Amino acid sequence: MRIIGKQEVEDMAVGAAVLASGGGGDPYIGKLMALQAIEEYGPFEMVTLDELDDDAWVCASHMLGAPTVLVEKVPNGLEGIGAVDALEARFGKKFDAIMPLEAGGLNSLLPFQVAAAKGVPIVDADGMGRAFPELRHVTWTLFDVPACPAAVCDEKGDTVVIEAVDNEWAERLARNVAITTGGSVFMADYAMTGAQAKKTSIPGTSTYCEVVGRTIREAHEAGGDPIPVILDLLKGKELFRGKLDDVSRRTVGGFVRGYAHFEGIEGYHGRTCEIEFQNEHLIARSDGEVLCSAPDLIAVLDAETALPITTEALKYGARGVLVGIPVHEHWRTPRGLEIAGPRYFGYDIDYVPVEER
C-alpha cells in the first residue's frame, strides 16, 4: 500500500495525459477534483494488484462521453460516487477497492476521488494502459469480463443500471444515456474479483503515469529538454514537429471527432502531418505516409513545455512534438487488434507497430 499525496497527483495528471493519446478528459479538471478530495478525505491509499485479496470485490470508475463537453459541464463530484452506489445497490454488496478504467487526465484521477469518498483504496492498474474511445476497449473485454451490470449516474442524480447482452451493447446503451443527459456521465462497471483483476488488468498504470509526469517535471527543474527523456522512458519515437494550422472538432454521437493539421517546423519544413481523432488520436499521417496508428499511442506534446495537449485543447498556432508510443502487448494480439486496431476505427490499413514504421 502506498500513500498518494498532492505531488503524486500533480505528476500523475501530466503523465496520464501523455498516455491518454489525446483523450481521457481534461487533466486540469481531474487534478483539481483529486486535490480537493485530498483536502476533504486526506491522502489516498493505493494498492497494487498483488496486494488485492483474490476474493476482493472491485469495480472500474470513470467518465464516459465527449471530453469537449467536460470543459463546460464540470463534474460536481457526486456523479462518480452515485454510479458506484448504484452498482453496490444492484449487487447488494460493497466494493473493497476501485480501479481506473483508463489512463487519462480525468479518468486516471477521478477514481481516486471516488475511492476516497467510499473509504476504500484505489488499485494501481487499469483496463487500457492508455485511453480509448469506447467502454469496451479494455483488456477485460479481451478476457471476457462483462462490463455489466453497469451503473450510470449524471450530475442531477439520475441513475441507470444497464445489463446488456454483451460489452458492445453496454457501450451503445451507456453512450446514449450520456447523449441524453448532456454529453457526459459517470459510470461504475466491470465488477470483478481480485483474482480476475490480477489476471486481466494492466498493472501499475497509475505509478507509470506518475513516473512519466515526474520525469517531465524533473527534466524541467534541471533546465533540460524533457522530450528526449520521455521518449527514452516510454520507448517512444518522435513522429513530427509542427505548428497547428487547422483543427476541426465536432461533438457528435457522444464523442468528439475531428482532425488536427500541422505544418512542419524544425527539421520538418516543407512537410505536413495530420492526426485524426475520436476522443483519442487514432492515426497520424504525413504526406500520405502513416506514421503511427491505434492501438499504438499518439501524443501531442507542447514543443516548449513538453506537456501533453488533449484533443479538446488543440488550438491554431500550437507548436507540437508528435510522439508515437508502443501500446501494451495485450493490444497487439489478433483479438486486441480486432477491437482496437486501425480497421476497427475505419482505416483500411494493416497495423504495423510504431517502432517498426
Residues that bind a copy of itself (CB under 8 A): 86, 90, 156-165, 169, 172-173, 176-177, 179-181
Nearest residue (CB) to a copy of itself, 175 versus 330: 175
- DSSP classification of residue 70: H
Kindly state the smallest distance separating residue 92's Cβ from a copy of itself, in Å.
Answer: 9
Kindly state the smallest distance separating residue 252's Cβ from a copy of itself, in Å.
Answer: 15
Kindly state the smallest distance separating residue 195's Cβ from a copy of itself, in Å.
Answer: 26
Kindly state the smallest distance separating residue 149's Cβ from a copy of itself, in Å.
Answer: 9
Kindly state the smallest distance separating residue 310's Cβ from a copy of itself, in Å.
Answer: 27
* Cis peptide upstream of residue 295 (ω within 30 degrees of 0): yes
DSSP sequence for 310-323 = -GGG--TT-EEEEE
Pairing, β 255-264 against β 57-65: unpaired
Nearest residue (CB) to a copy of itself, 85 versus 280: 85
- C-alpha 249/C-alpha 246 separation (Å) is 10
CB 153 within 8 A of CB 127: no
Helix (H, G, I), strand (E, B) or coil at 262: strand
Nearest residue (CB) to a copy of itself, 53 versus 166: 166
Kindly state the smallest distance separating residue 111's Cβ from a copy of itself, in Å.
Answer: 22
User: Cα-Cα-Cα-Cα dihedral of 160, 166, 172, 174, to 10°?
Assistant: 20
Q: In this structure, what C-alpha cell is assigned to residue 94?
A: 460493497
- C-alpha 95/C-alpha 99 separation (Å) is 10
Kindly state the smallest distance separating residue 179's Cβ from a copy of itself, in Å.
Answer: 7
Helix (H, G, I), strand (E, B) or coil at 86: helix
Kindly state the smallest distance separating residue 65's Cβ from a copy of itself, in Å.
Answer: 14
- Calculate helix-pair angle for 27-41, 110-118, nearest 10 degrees: 20
Nearest residue (CB) to a copy of itself, 117 versus 179: 179
Nearest residue (CB) to a copy of itself, 161 versus 265: 161
- Position of cell 483488456? 139
Nearest residue (CB) to a copy of itself, 164 versus 290: 164
Nearest residue (CB) to a copy of itself, 20 versus 160: 160
CB 213 within 8 A of CB 14: yes
| Strand partners for 322 | 240, 300
Nearest residue (CB) to a copy of itself, 163 versus 246: 163
- C-alpha 225/C-alpha 266 separation (Å) is 15
